[in-house]
Amino acid sequence: MVLVIDCGNTDTVLGIYQDGTQKHIWRMPSTDAMNRQVWSYRIASEFLEARVKTTDIEQIVLSSVVPDLTAEIAAALHQLTDKPLVIVNAEIYDQLDIEVVNKIEIGGDLVANAVAAYHIFQQKCVIVDFGTALTFTSVLDDGKLAGVAIAPGLKTAVKSLLQHTAQLPQVPLEVPKTVLGKNTIQAIQAGVTIGYTGMVRYLLERIEAELGKDIKVIATGGLLETLEDLEGVFDQKNKHLTLEGLVLIGEQVGKTSH
């Protein structure tokens, strides 16, 4: 079994995979209040409930975009098991099937997305990740990362409005029936959800214009189903693409280390 962990700015997602098949998945908040002891306890508790033994884990792959939590989670994992830990960072990128550019700055989650998408399509592709940030990661036919576009995620955009504008109500992330909002909630919903629908379409058009036709597009992330008017835009949807990419990274690094 392989334990993969994707630590993001909002949530940390953990998955257990066996022979490439997902067996278990857990989601925990990414919070500084959780030190290594708390992480160790939470992970061990989830394992116990799912009847997963730490002795069954053969490899761990960790991607984190929260530097302060990376060391805490890694230390927690070392408390639970002595099995090999692969941390997705610049030190391992040369061992992957894709070519990573600007190795220091790019997030491990985007690399995992690129690895998984290129494994699926074996051609130029774009991964649209609907998470805390809305990211567009482009990969060329030869597996080289062409570049990334990043915008605030849907929830992040709404949260920013609520934080910096007085007297705004809480806004559920739903697509309204009309762009002509009749109250504050509808107005924000229209601006964010319908506006982001247009942004996704336009950015994909620009990426296609720069990379050429015949490009595959895959959507992932926890909010990928929020925007309703994107049918036909994506060749595939995979909510757990990042985790699958981490599994592949573990396999590719394991091959080069033997």
In order, the DSSP letters of 50-103 are HT--GGG--EEEEEES-HHHHHHHHHHHHHH--S-EEE-STTTGGGSSSBPSST
Provide the phi-psi class of 221: left if phi over 0, else alpha when psi is between -120 and 50, else beta.
Answer: left
What b/e string do you get for 87-113 counting C-beta neighbours within 10 Å, with b at 16 or more?
bbbeebbeebebebeeeeebbbbbbbb
Residue whose structure tokens are 């690895």: 115
Q: How much is the pLDDT for 244?
A: 97
The amino acid at 187? A
* Closest of 175, 146, 143, 145 to residue 158, by C-alpha: 175
Q: How much is the pLDDT for 257?
A: 53
Find the catalytic residue in 11, 19, 82, 109: 109
Q: How much is the pLDDT for 256?
A: 58
Q: How much is the pLDDT for 88?
A: 97
Q: How much is the pLDDT for 162?
A: 78
109: annotated active-site residue? yes
Cβ-based neighbour number of residue 17 at 10 Å: 22
Write the CB contacts of 188 (distance below 8 Å, at least 6 apart in sequence).
158, 161, 168, 171, 181
Q: Which two tokens mark 11?
A: 């949530």
Q: How many angstroms from the chain centroid is the CA of residue 146?
A: 18
Please list the pLDDT of the chain residue by residue as tens digits (258 residues). Answer: 999 999 998 899 999 999 989 999 999 998 877 789 999 999 999 999 999 999 999 999 999 999 989 999 999 999 999 999 999 999 999 999 999 988 999 999 999 999 999 999 999 999 999 999 999 999 999 999 999 999 999 999 988 887 766 666 778 889 999 999 998 889 999 999 999 999 999 999 999 999 998 999 999 998 888 888 898 899 999 999 999 999 999 999 976 554
CATH superfamily label, 123-239: ATPase, nucleotide binding domain (3.30.420.40)
The reported pTM is 0.92
DSSP assignment letter at 230: G
Rounded distance between C-alpha atoms, residue 234 and residue 51, angstroms: 36
- 201 SS3 class: helix
Q: How much is the pLDDT for 258?
A: 46
Q: How much is the pLDDT for 161?
A: 82
Give the bridge partners for 29, in sequence order: 11
Q: How much is the pLDDT for 160?
A: 85
Q: How much is the pLDDT for 254?
A: 75
CATH superfamily label, 2-87: ATPase, nucleotide binding domain (3.30.420.40)
Measured in Å, how far apart are the chain's first and last C-alpha atoms? 18
| Beta carbons of 6 and 13 less than 8 angstroms apart | yes
